[in-house]
Structure 1
Amino acid sequence: CGSQSAIYSSLKVFKEIAHEITDTQIPDVAPVLLPQLLNIFASKKFSIQTSMNAIKIFGIISETIMLMNELDKNAIKRHLADFIPRFTEYAIEVLMTPETSDTVDIGMKK
């Protein structure tokens, strides 16, 4: 998958361009990117900052899909619904982790 520093750098750049992903690109991008972002978010091997970047990008892509749903009522079902249970599971894990843990930053809980 790549070194941690390469993944961190890639996510940092991708976070800057994620808002530029259009509704026509989502069918190609979402099925590839969303599972990887969730894997990074859930993994204990990445830094807190890398996990936060992954979840921010996941949020940006999700927002685009939700906006698409205004015109295409199946957009969420097609591009996002399969990832929501997994995202929720990982988010609950983060919320349940003590704030003294070195794997969770208080910023992840906001």
Structure 2
Amino acid sequence: MPVTLCVLLWETEGNGDLLAAYEDAVLALVPEHGGEVHERMRRTSLPGEPRGGDPLEVQVIGLPDDDALAAYLADPRRTALADTRDRAIARTQIVRVDRVVPD
């Protein structure tokens, strides 16, 4: 059964660029596991505007099934970047979602 994830990512203080670089690297692996990055968006704010508790990046990712998701998460090229991830990402929230199609 296809898996669709909404991924929300919060950066560690001052590491938005590092988070983006990490995500560039690991999301490039998704197609190799049969998946697709449907959407990838970043928070916008004006200089000096408070950002509150909003995530820096939101992604919608689709994979063919739970086995493909497990293979992506265990991909050695991805796990090799764990130190970078730990420095860049303060919090991750992953929500399984289904597309809502209007009647």
The two structures have a TM-score, normalised by structure 1, of 0.27
The two structures have a TM-score, normalised by structure 2, of 0.28
Which is strand-richer, 1 or 2?
2
Which is helix-richer, 1 or 2?
1
- Which of the pair has the greater relative contact order for Cα pairs under 8 Å at 6+ separation? 2
